[in-house]
Amino acid sequence: MTRLVEVRSRILKENDVLARGLRDRFQQAGVCVISFVSSPGSGKTTFLEKLMFRLSPRHRIAALVGDLATENDAARLSRACTQVRQITTGTICHLDAKMIDKALEGWRLEDLDFLFIENVGNLVCPSGYDLGEQVRVVLLSATEGEDKPLKYPTIFNTADVALITKIDLAAAAEFDREAAHRSILSVRPGMKVLEVSAKTGEGMDETEALFESLLAPA
């Protein structure tokens, strides 16, 4: 038991060192790196595809997308931007800094404005792995429980922005928006929370503006 804990903390330490190196590289290259975490099915890929379609006329964008298996999400995202790579993790339920480092091989970071990273759908261990991102976004969809932030506080705590997705389904799912906001803010007071629908476009202007405000002035 003790040994397992030791091995785990060593892995996390190695990850932190690598992630710091990545963060320095991203900063020097002037690329804004935003990662997305959520449960499976919260709409990360759909949201990202819509977002990239909106940003791509004005910005240079690349994306990395993690899943246990299949290249389906990379295929979808490549409709919105040309530089997309899938990271298939096999049995590993999260991305780590080493996977990001490897997936970036051959890409010129200096030529990018945004790099988006979609994590494996999982609300538990991605919280422990720094990917060197500038901003971490956590998604909660209107088809999930409003109390999910209370059940998985760590992931909300390590994120900078929360998006409530599929807001067009809120009424049909009897989703209590106020309760969801309350849960998020009780776990992470002061967190920026936006309601979005990739389908109707609600909240997309605001989200786009928020991300653009993170870009370093040219």
Summarize as ranges the residues that interact with Mg ion (CB under 5 A): 44-45, 73
Task: Report the residue number, 91 or 213, with the smaller CB distance to Zn ion.
Answer: 91
Beta strands in 61-119 (DSSP E): 61-67, 83-88, 114-118
Does 94 interact with Zn ion (rule: CB under 5 A)? yes
Q: Which does 85 bind (CB under 5 to 8 A by kind): Mg ion, Zn ion, none?
A: none
125 makes contact, choosing from Zn ion, Mg ion, none, with CB < 5 to 8 Å by partner type, with Zn ion
The nearest distance, CB 133 to Zn ion, in angstroms, is 17
The residue whose Cβ lies closest to Mg ion is 45
Q: Considering only CA atoms, which of 100, 101, 34, 28 is closest in space to residue 61? A: 34
> How many angstroms from the chain centroid is the CA of residue 176?
24
* Min CB(125)–Zn ion separation in Å: 3
We find the least distance from the C-beta atom of residue 154 to Zn ion, in angstroms, to be: 13
List the single partner that 93 binds among Zn ion, Mg ion, none, CB under 5 to 8 Å by kind. Answer: Zn ion
Which of residues 104 and 125 has its CB atom nearest to Zn ion in the complex? 125
Instruction: For residues 128 and 185, give the distance between their C-alpha atoms in angstroms, rounded to a whole number.
Output: 20
Q: Which H or E run contains 204?
A: helix 204-212
125 binds Zn ion (CB under 5 A): yes
Rounded to the nearest 5°, which phi and psi values hold at 163? -115, 125
Q: Which residues of 1-37 are buried (b: 16+ CB within 10 A; e: fewer)?
A: eeeeeeeeeeeeeebeebbeebbeebeeeebbbbbbb
Q: Which is nearer to Mg ion, 19 or 84 (CB)?
A: 84
Site for Zn ion in 197-216 (CB under 5 A): none
CB of 29 to Mg ion, least distance (A): 25
Nearer to Mg ion, 44 or 94 (CB): 44
Element at 101 (helix H, strand E): helix 97-103
Burial label, 99 (beta-carbon count in 10 A; 0-12, 13-18, 19+): buried
**For Zn ion, which stretch binds (CB under 5 A), given 42-50, 86-94, 105-113, 166-174?**
86-94
State the binding string over 40-79 for Zn ion (x if CB under 5 A, else -): ----------------------------------------
Q: Is 86 helix (H, G, I), strand (E, B) or coil?
A: strand
Distance CA 191, CA 124 (A): 19
Residues making contact with Zn ion (CB under 5 A): 93-94, 125
